[in-house]
A = this chain, B = another copy of it.
Amino acid sequence: MATGEFELIDNYFTHRLPERDDVIIGIGDDGAVLDVPAGFQLVVVTDTLVENVHFDRQTSARALGHKAVAVNLSDLAAMGAEPTWISLALTLPHSDDEWLNSFSHGLREICDYFNCQLVGGDTTRGPLTITVTAHGVVPKGKAIQRRGAKPGDWLYVSHSLGDAGLALASQKHQVNISSEHFRQVSERLHFPTPRVALGQALRDVASSAIDISDGLLADLGHILRASQVGAVISLEEIPLSLAMTESVSQEQALRYALTSGDDYELCFTVSEDQRGVFDTKLATLGCKPVCIGRITGQAEKIELKLAGEPWQFELPQTGYQHFREPLEAS
């Protein structure tokens, strides 16, 4: 059953991967050698998933393979970058053929879909930990930052929010939902869709962008801090899935949408000037971001309004911070 480190990598990860022309040396040497096209800049992002912190033992290996890549491509999308290559650092308690087959299958599926090639990594023994470093390219000077939002800009999110949080709450028996709704929101928790095409379409159009991994309020907060602006959100505009609205009250739905993590949707701002260009670009893209509010001049202040009236609610904490979370039992 035990497999050597090198055969491991060979067996599961080196075949049936997309082969890009810009990969000069891939897996199998001390490092990968890669061509960044002239006129483009390199974008690098890193995200780690740890067992019992980001997922539990029941999570399928295929979902982990997908998600470890997806959360990184979501960061690339928020920068407006086109994904190109990933490195995988995989720490496993023991060699498990079935798990590795399923994990590499999930990883391959999303890499294939986004034409992103695995070019290297490291496989080590230890508690299950998955770190992916993803690389992308963006035309010189066109990366979207957090700090460009201006008062008067429109505030958008790419898709419905809170489903992953609802799935997690249901999994922990904190809320009771139908099995069909559970299936739908679990799909969003385990197989998030990074908004890669949208991110690239936002270059030259969005004044700022971030991906929502820690909840809308926390991540919008990063844009507001970096840009030194505020925002007013019309809560009734926040997109919610049918699974969400049919399962919980409006107040509970808004709590999930505002504060639960793992959405991996984009949150971005568009100036009044760019709004026409943006609508035209969207028409060809087949996705429908929703305008949920506007940027204000009140630095770092978020005003929540429901039907025009201020909506008060206690924030449990400002985002999902691992060091403040107790470790869950495995």
Contact = CB atoms under 8 A, between A and B. Distances in A.
B325 A46 contact: no
Interface string A78-101: 110100010111010011000000
Contacts of A210: 30
Chain multiplicity (copies): 2
A289 interface: no
Given A89-B46, A124-B322, A33 B143 contact: yes
A121 B44 CA distance: 9
A138 to B, nearest CB: 7
Interface stretch (A47-55, A243-251, A291-299): A47-55
B51 A126 contact: yes
Contacts of A123: 322
A131 interface: yes
A310 interface: no
A88 B126 CA distance: 18
A17 interface: no
Interface residues of A, number: 72
Interface string A125-167: 1110101010110100001011100000000000000000000
Contacts of A136: 31
Contact of A50 (B87, B124, B322): B124
A146 B29 contact: yes
Contact of A127 (B78, B129, B133, B147): B129
A22 to B, nearest CB: 9
A321 B138 CA distance: 38
A3 interface: yes
Contacts of A42: 33-36, 42, 135
A75 B127 contact: no
23 contacts: A25-B143, A30-B75, A30-B209, A31-B44, A33-B79, A33-B143, A34-B44, A35-B41, A42-B42, A44-B87, A45-B120, A46-B121, A47-B122, A48-B122, A48-B131, A53-B125, A87-B133, A91-B129, A124-B322, A125-B322, A125-B325, A125-B327, A133-B133
Q: Which 10 A-B pairs have the closest CB atoms?
A: A50-B126, A31-B45, A125-B322, A127-B127, A133-B133, A89-B131, A30-B78, A30-B75, A46-B87, A34-B42
